[in-house]
């Protein structure tokens, strides 16, 4: 098997949503992504940093729909990478101020992550990577990821 090119990246995620305006309010109003284009009442694209879109939202097959029930296949979560701890802390502040419940938070050694759900029940991970030189490794140099509690108050204190 030939491996994928090491510079390949996931360019964007496109989500089926039940209510387009509600989804825009979450991804733009809470998380802060910029609305770059809207196609009437059926689709919208949002991004960070002037990119054409990182997030696509549509109601083409899902208007007024419900999330899949537990125990079914589908998207586990979409992960949004923040450039530093202060930016991740600011994202947490926005989520807390919006009154959105967290599903969890973890320090994985290589990263710090916050888990929640969007209004359609899609899993969302907000995270930041530590510098690779700080990743935990054993005596043989093998990566040793962990699942330790994340101090959310300290993260809020570091908010940008």
Q: What is the CATH number of domain 11-64?
A: 3.10.180.10
Residue 20: count other Cβ atoms within 10 Å of its Cβ: 20
Question: Domain ranges in the chain?
Answer: 11-64, 76-160
- Percent of the chain past pLDDT 90, that is, above it, reads 89
| Residue 160 CA: distances (Å) to CA of 7, 127, 152 | 29, 14, 14
Classify domain 76-160 at the CATH topology level.
Answer: 2,3-Dihydroxybiphenyl 1,2-Dioxygenase; domain 1 (3.10.180)
Q: What is the pLDDT of residues 120-132, one digit of tens each?
A: 999 999 999 999 9
What is the C-alpha R_g of the chain? Answer: 17
Mean pLDDT of 2-28: 94
Q: How many CA atoms lie within 13 A of 49 on its CB side?
A: 3
Task: Give kind and range of the element (H or E) at residue 56.
Answer: strand 55-58
What string of H, E and C letters represents the secondary structure of 104-140?
Answer: EEEECCCEEEEEEECCCCCEEEEEEECCHHHCCECCC
Q: What is the pLDDT of residues 29-69, one digit of tens each?
A: 999 999 999 999 999 999 999 999 999 999 999 999 999 88
* Residue in 47, 27, 154, 15 with CA at minimum distance from that of residue 98: 27
Mean pLDDT of 68-74: 89
11-64 and 76-160, same CATH topology:
yes
Would the pTM of this model clear 0.75, i.e. be above it? yes
Mean pLDDT in the chain? 95
Banded pLDDT at 74 (limits 50, 70, 90):
confident
Residue 111: count other Cβ atoms within 10 Å of its Cβ: 19
């Amino acid at each position: 098997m030939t491996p994928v090119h090491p510079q390949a990246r996931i360019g964007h995620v496109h989500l089926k949503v039940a209510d387009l305006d509600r989804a825009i309010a979450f991804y733009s109003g809470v998380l802060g992504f910029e609305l770059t284009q809207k196609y009437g009442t059926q689709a919208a694209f949002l991004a960070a940093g002037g990119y054409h879109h990182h997030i696509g939202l549509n109601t083409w097959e899902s208007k007024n729909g419900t999330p899949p029930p537990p125990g079914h296949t589908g998207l586990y979560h979409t992960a949004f990478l923040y450039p530093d701890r202060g930016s991740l802390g600011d994202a947490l502040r926005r989520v807390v101020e919006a009154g959105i419940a967290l599903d969890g938070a973890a320090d994985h050694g290589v990263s710090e992550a916050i888990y929640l759900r969007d209004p359609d029940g899609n899993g969302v991970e907000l995270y930041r990577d530590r510098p690779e030189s700080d990743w935990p490794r054993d005596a043989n140099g093998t990566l040793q990821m962990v699942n330790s509690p994340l101090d959310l108050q300290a993260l809020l204190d570091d908010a940008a």
